A and B are shown apart, each in its own frame.
Chain A
Amino acid sequence: MSTKRISKEFAEVSQTPIEGFLVTLPPNNSVHTWHVTLQPPASTTFYPGRFGIVLTLPTDYPFKPPVVKFVTRVYHPNITNDSLGNVCLAILKAENWKPSTKIASVLEALRNLLVEPQPDDPLEERIADEYRNDREAWEAKAKAAVTKYALEDPVFPAS
């Protein structure tokens, strides 16, 4: 069931791409891992970065939420600023997840998170403080991180 639904969703996303997203499957063609490239809207601090996201869909998807990790470094209150790139996204939490949520919604939520960080629910407390209290410094650092990490095409880990 999960494979079927995932394939359908992948077909949908491929046919009608979500604005700002490029979705591919890894070389081994497993539908349970999606390689997603996100280009945030031009209005955001993170433009013109391109951010690699690995979306892992559990075998019991859609009964369990997808796991989302940034492979590109992001200077963001809700994304761990390390090589793990964990994301805090409310709809992916076990208590919030519902199987009617589609991956497209997850991707849109990710884009919204880049457009509007949620410093009140941070993964990176320090960046959240900075975002709240010294927005200019945060923007400068976020831009610097974009320049440093996000201008090249994202490199996805072989899986």
Chain B
Amino acid sequence: MDGSSADRHLDANAGREVVYCHACAREWYRDERGLLCPRCGSDITEIVSPDNDPRDLNDDDDSEPESPPLRHRFPPRDRDHDHDHNHDHDSDPDEADIEEHLGGPNGFHFRRSVRGRPGMQHHDPNVDPVIERFLGMIQDFQPPRRPNAYEQRPEEGRFGGPHIHRATFTNGSGSASVTIFSGTGTGLFGPGPPGQERHGDPFQTFFSNVLRDVSPPVGGREAGGPTPGFARGLQEILNLFNPAHAIAGDAVYSQEALDQIITNLMEAHPQSNAAPPASNEALANLDRKPVDASMLEGESKTECTICIDDMKVGDPAAFLPCKHWFHEECVTLWLKEHNTCPVCRASIEKPEDRSGPNRHASPPPISTQSSDSDDLYGSGLNRTEPLPIPGAGPSRPPNQSQSRLNEAMRGLSSQQEQQDRESMRRIWGISGGGSGDRAEREQERDQRERERDRIWGAPSAYDTWRAQRRNSRNSLSPTSPRLSSFADYRVRPRQPSPPQSSRRERENSNASTSANPSQPTSSGPLSWLRERFSGGGSRDEANREER
């Protein structure tokens, strides 16, 4: 090895771990002094390993703290523990994989691997402070704990088992994976000399930094300038920890928080809430005729509200089902984007065009809010009629996150419902029926219905029956309150100041939605049974449907 280094530098290969302080460039043996720098007290230290030696072995000036690493001086060899308390960015372009370990006082360990693509910087320097703060915050979550006995592997934590979290962030220019070990005391750090516990809590400052960042900016957003994308993303994640948001992970604890999530989702796709383009069929079915004098006389409106040009006799005009009429050319341009009337937003897709009871009107329920057309109520009714069973019915206009969301919700609830029924059927069908409970009687009726269908070989009849039944039920309880609450929600900005009433309404709808699926669930043993059986329910269902 580099013999000359032995003079001024401790030999890292002599079987003892050498620790190097990045703050003051001092080196010492770990088993003598531990990991904290004995001279300056810094914890920015690193255990020197042959293939990752932060010391500048060439230069006699060992007080240069930022000296470049000279890891190719040594042939690569196994390193037992490479605790790299390295806060600077040792981006060696030849090294594809850099791992960093950060250690905290409370048994949290942080290990980061950065993989860069060729020619890329290994990582964005902006990321480091954020990750440090994140680490600090995590550490703060754990109650302070005395340093513990040496643990070779953090996975074998003594206190309630370890937790290992790994997260990978990708931003197109490479990815960084973050692993956080939480477990026993000092874990990888080994036994520190008595009294060596880190003074104060340096991470307290990190945590307060985090809190400061999490709370809304005091002086407006201009203060910090543009946040780096990654940092902002992380900040958003951290935002979730703010109790005021009542959101934790993918769970929310308040209606407000749920509303907020839905709002965010909707605003993320501003276009998708809009009504879909009109079908060619509907376009072709529009009444068209040239403007004649009788149309203009007695009409208060003589201009096309789209181009705000006057309607002149002889202009080709198109009439929508809501009786509003426009220049044919103008309204066609609009209808090719949205299938609603440019004035009253009534849908132009006629109810009779729908092929079945399951077909629902395409425009979102929002349209019911505009009231400047007498025809609107007719169409409005269509719009609030129950949504179809997922998967049933002919092709539906695409691009409506609103109805897709509703559908997804309905899909969930009806699936649940189906499973409920399947399991109930199995249970109560065998035991011979209900005992007075309404839900049970309903289940029994289901069962009988099904038996009859089987006997008479009319599964399709059963299907329709069930579909209708679900529709009627839906229109009463489960998702239509949700629908109306959507409408209500989106109407809100237009209303002057309805917070009281709208909130109450939302509470009501809330209550009814939450009351809905519990219908067969109400009693304890039933729900237990349901849980036991619901797992296989869908498969059974599928089998049975085949018959």
With both beta carbons as reference points, the residue of chain A lying nearest to B333 in the complex is identified as A63
Q: Indicate if the CB atoms of A81 and B275 lie closer than 8 Å.
A: no
Q: Which residues of A contact B496 (CB under 8 A)?
A: 116
User: B366 contacts the other chain (Cβ, under 8 Å)?
Assistant: yes
User: A107 contacts the other chain (Cβ, under 8 Å)?
Assistant: no
Q: Indicate if the CB atoms of B334 and A63 lie closer than 8 Å.
A: yes
Q: Indicate if the CB atoms of A100 and B492 lie closer than 8 Å.
A: no
Q: Quick one: which of A80, A82, A94, A102 contacts B270, CB cutoff 8 A? A: A94
Q: Indicate if the CB atoms of A93 and B343 lie closer than 8 Å.
A: no
Rounded to whole Å, the gap between the CB of A5 and the closest CB of chain B is 5
Q: Which residues of A contact B222 (CB under 8 A)?
A: 82-83
User: B418 contacts the other chain (Cβ, under 8 Å)?
Assistant: no
Categorize the interface residue count of chain A.
20 to 34
Q: Which residues of A contact B364 (CB under 8 A)?
A: 95
User: B342 contacts the other chain (Cβ, under 8 Å)?
Assistant: yes
Q: Indicate if the CB atoms of B342 and A90 lie closer than 8 Å.
A: no
Q: Which residues of B contact A95 (CB under 8 A)?
A: 273-275, 364, 366, 402, 490
Q: Which residues of A contact B494 (CB under 8 A)?
A: 90-91
| With known contacts A93-B270, A94-B271, A100–B221 Cβ distance under 8 A | no
Rounded to whole Å, the gap between the CB of B267 and the closest CB of chain A is 9
Rounded to whole Å, the gap between the CB of B275 and the closest CB of chain A is 7
A95 to B266, CA, bound (A): 11
Interface core residue of B275, B308, B333, B499 (most chain A CB under 10 Å): B308
Q: Which residues of B contact A102 (CB under 8 A)?
A: 308
Q: Indicate if the CB atoms of B334 and A99 lie closer than 8 Å.
A: yes
A131 to B320, CA, bound (A): 43
Q: Which residues of B contact A1 (CB under 8 A)?
A: 307, 330, 333
Q: Indicate if the CB atoms of B337 and A63 lie closer than 8 Å.
A: yes
Q: Indicate if the CB atoms of A88 and B493 lie closer than 8 Å.
A: yes
Rounded to whole Å, the gap between the CB of B304 and the closest CB of chain A is 9
Q: Indicate if the CB atoms of B273 and A99 lie closer than 8 Å.
A: no
Rounded to whole Å, the gap between the CB of B371 and the closest CB of chain A is 14
Q: Which residues of A contact B308 (CB under 8 A)?
A: 5, 8-9, 102
Instruction: Flag A115-142 by CB within 8 Å of B: 1 or 0 each.
Output: 0101111000110000000000000000
- The tally of CB-CB contacts under 8 A between chains A and B is 76
User: A154 contacts the other chain (Cβ, under 8 Å)?
Assistant: no
Rounded to whole Å, the gap between the CB of A59 and the closest CB of chain B is 12
Rounded to whole Å, the gap between the CB of A23 and the closest CB of chain B is 17
User: B502 contacts the other chain (Cβ, under 8 Å)?
Assistant: yes
Per DSSP, chain B at the interface is loop
Rounded to whole Å, the gap between the CB of B47 and the closest CB of chain A is 46
User: B432 contacts the other chain (Cβ, under 8 Å)?
Assistant: no
Q: Which residues of A contact B499 (CB under 8 A)?
A: 119-120
User: B543 contacts the other chain (Cβ, under 8 Å)?
Assistant: no
With both beta carbons as reference points, the residue of chain B lying nearest to A98 in the complex is identified as B342
Rounded to whole Å, the gap between the CB of A72 and the closest CB of chain B is 13
Q: Which residues of B contact A8 (CB under 8 A)?
A: 308-309
Q: Quick one: which of B221, B342, B497 contacts A116, CB cutoff 8 A? A: B497
Q: Which residues of B contact A119 (CB under 8 A)?
A: 499
Q: Quick one: which of B221, B270, B340 contacts A81, CB cutoff 8 A? A: B221
Q: Which residues of A contact B497 (CB under 8 A)?
A: 116, 118, 120
User: B220 contacts the other chain (Cβ, under 8 Å)?
Assistant: yes
Q: Indicate if the CB atoms of B366 and A96 lie closer than 8 Å.
A: yes
Q: Indicate if the CB atoms of B493 and A99 lie closer than 8 Å.
A: no
User: A62 contacts the other chain (Cβ, under 8 Å)?
Assistant: yes
With both beta carbons as reference points, the residue of chain A lying nearest to B260 in the complex is identified as A125
Q: Indicate if the CB atoms of A5 and B342 lie closer than 8 Å.
A: no
User: B345 contacts the other chain (Cβ, under 8 Å)?
Assistant: yes
A70 to B18, CA, bound (A): 60
Within 8 A of A (CB), among B300-337: 305-309, 330, 333-334, 337
A120 to B499, CA, bound (A): 7
Q: Indicate if the CB atoms of B334 and A94 lie closer than 8 Å.
A: no
Within 8 A of A (CB), among B396-425: 402
Q: Indicate if the CB atoms of A90 and B221 lie closer than 8 Å.
A: no
Q: Indicate if the CB atoms of A90 and B270 lie closer than 8 Å.
A: no
Rounded to whole Å, the gap between the CB of A151 and the closest CB of chain B is 18
User: B249 contacts the other chain (Cβ, under 8 Å)?
Assistant: no
User: B525 contacts the other chain (Cβ, under 8 Å)?
Assistant: no
A91 to B274, CA, bound (A): 12
Q: Quick one: which of B220, B305, B333, B337 contacts A82, CB cutoff 8 A? A: B220
User: B391 contacts the other chain (Cβ, under 8 Å)?
Assistant: no
User: B216 contacts the other chain (Cβ, under 8 Å)?
Assistant: yes
Q: Indicate if the CB atoms of A90 and B305 lie closer than 8 Å.
A: no
Q: Indicate if the CB atoms of A80 and B275 lie closer than 8 Å.
A: no
A99 to B307, CA, bound (A): 9
Q: Which residues of B contact A120 (CB under 8 A)?
A: 492-493, 497-499, 502
Q: Indicate if the CB atoms of B271 and A99 lie closer than 8 Å.
A: no
Q: Indicate if the CB atoms of B334 and A90 lie closer than 8 Å.
A: no
Q: Indicate if the CB atoms of A90 and B493 lie closer than 8 Å.
A: yes
Q: 11 pairs across A/B with beta carbons < 8 Å?
A: A63-B333, A95-B273, A95-B490, A96-B366, A98-B345, A99-B305, A99-B306, A100-B305, A102-B308, A120-B492, A120-B502
Interface residues of A (CB under 8 A from B): 1, 4-5, 8-9, 62-63, 73, 80-83, 88-91, 93-100, 102, 116, 118-121, 125-126
Known: A90-B494, A91-B494. 13 other contacts (CB 8 A): A4-B307, A4-B309, A5-B308, A8-B309, A82-B222, A90-B490, A95-B402, A99-B330, A100-B306, A100-B343, A119-B499, A120-B493, A121-B492
Interface residues of B (CB under 8 A from A): 216, 220-222, 270-271, 273-275, 305-309, 330, 333-334, 337, 340-343, 345, 364, 366, 402, 490, 492-494, 496-499, 502
**8 cross-chain pairs, A with B, having the tightest CB-CB distances, nearest first:** A90-B493, A95-B273, A100-B305, A126-B216, A94-B274, A82-B221, A121-B493, A95-B274
